[in-house]
Structure 1
Amino acid sequence: MTTAEWPKETLARLLAAERPLLAAHLKPDGDAIGSTLGLAEFLRSCGKTPTVLLPDGIPELYRLRAAEFQTAAPSDWAAFDLAVLLDTAIAARAGFGPEGGVPEALRAKLLVIDHHPDNPGFGAWNCLQTVAATAEVVLQVCESSGTAIPRAAADWLLLGLVTDTGGFRFDNTAADTFRSAARLLDAGASLNRVVNQIFFNKPYRQQLFEAELLSHHVRWAENGRMAWAVVTPELLQKYDFDMRNAEGVIDMLRAIAGAEVVALISRRDPGFRVSMRSKNPAVPVVELAHKYHGGGHAMAAGMTVAAAGFEEVEAILERESANLFAGDPR
């Protein structure tokens, strides 16, 4: 949908459904959870009966308030007259089940709502807008109704906006991002609740985990311009740390002076997950992610690499680092 009427067109499709099914990508981050639960709260306020499907549950980091959702896939996809997939640019990562992908029974009634610029539009209908967060797209859709946004919906959407902008610090933050945040605050969202949950609620065991990760598991390339950390299963077990709560961990690496591109490597069956961030606009990371069938944004992207072990993944990053910086030599 590219016309100026896209919020109302999307809203009309949502409100035409009595029993919509809402889902996001596997291993959901704050924007995936916030945009999905925020839309669900809004639809309930409109008299609809949405079902929220989150196979991986809600990580501790994002448990902002009570939420209605299920982790088990429904036994009958036909029970839903619309499937809504949020914040998902790659169909294979769709969270309709633990294995990913879009069930054949849902393809003809799939509405994709997303903000990733590399989303190819794989839904029957696609609401794709390049803004800071999918929560911002959902906000505009809800606002087009002309009715008040419930406080619970505003809280969840603010969670999505705050997390995907890194607390309004990342390059995707624009003037309109702040305007969206202001409207959510006007709707009753609690910035104090969101900020305390995301940034000031870190378990002590996680702080110990992060200290050891920085001390013993960071590697370097390109004379310090690139850094990555290896999260081994042993390290996770030692500190009883759940990688679903790791959204802020990569920012520790990003904060290292001189490191322009950083990555976090972790085990994700059947391969290895590589999350990447760049703080140099001349060195985007999304093309590297695309090379390995991943995706994301220019400055924040991820990919899953098939490899025999961590050493092979590190060798790939070291080899690719030369290509990353080829256009911006020092």
Structure 2
Amino acid sequence: MDSVHMLRIIIITVIFVPIIICEQVKKYPLLMPNVHPKHDELYLCTPIKVVPKKSFYIVGFEPNATMETAHHILLYGCTTPGSNKSYWDCGEMSAHQEDKDIPRASPCASGSHVLYAWARDAKKFEVPDGVGFQIGEGTSIHYLVLQVHYAHTDKFKGGKTDNSGIFLMYTEEPRNKLAGVLLLGTSGVIPPNSITHMESDCRLVENKTIHPFAYRTHTHSLGKVVTGYAIHEDENKQHQWTLLGKRDPLTPQMFYPVLNKDPVHPGDILAARCTMESNRNTYTHVGATNMDEMCNFYLMYYVKEGTPLDMKYCFTPGPPYFYWDKENHLNNIPDKEASSL
């Protein structure tokens, strides 16, 4: 019988006993339950349920994976998970034929947002002092769901299983700064033998001031540069651009400190560009496989008052339908800076 393991401060089974780091911070292993990936480009998800009527604060993430095994890992916060099974196929964008013995569903059935992402042998990450991702009581996050993308599965053909995942560092001690993640990305198509800009932007319409502290970039093999900005619009509708992060996405895809920690206020705009270079003779679409592409800029931030943004995602249609300068949407664009390292 399938069961959903539960995040607890006291757990009587040996398997899920938290590892005590210090008096207040403990470590919990959120790992794949020794799965056997059977085909390339497989996405698998596994959930844990947060103990009811308790509130926890995640303060660090320690990967238990290598890029040799996992193409990337995402940690979702969900109100309800996509399935009540111990694991399932969650490759929503993948066109492969689903395995008959593995159920298929999205990572979350409701309340989906990304808390953490890993790829390319990124190292351990800890949030600043006083900051934490609140889950459980008082939030919409009742489950955590781990997603692992297995791009290549040859190593598992002999029956080898996998327990890739993340060790979560957490505490019950309340944090005075609550963390959130905003994911900027695009759909779109990259023409053959071209340099293409994939761009997204969203205005902060909520009455909340956010304090960026880390960013992460993600593309597949065509990405050359990914940049993220905060944009202030003055009374003359002129845009003032502040660089938050810039990275070659083919380096370790970990969270790095932002280049500017100034607060982002209501009415400001957050924007991202991925510069993609294709030497292929065919069109490349946004999708889940290694031969598709993605354009993602993750911004990690905290708020000093209230809760993080209700807005969790900022996506645009991408090329050829959406660009920063389309119909004078944005001005004073730092075109060279945004497209080169």
Question: After TM superposition, is the score higher than 0.5?
Answer: no
Please identify which structure carries the higher helix content.
Answer: 1
Task: State the TM-score, normalizing by the size of structure 1.
Answer: 0.32
TM-score normalised by the chain length of structure 2: 0.31
Give the structure, 1 or 2, with the largest relative contact order (CA under 8 Å, sep 6 or more).
2
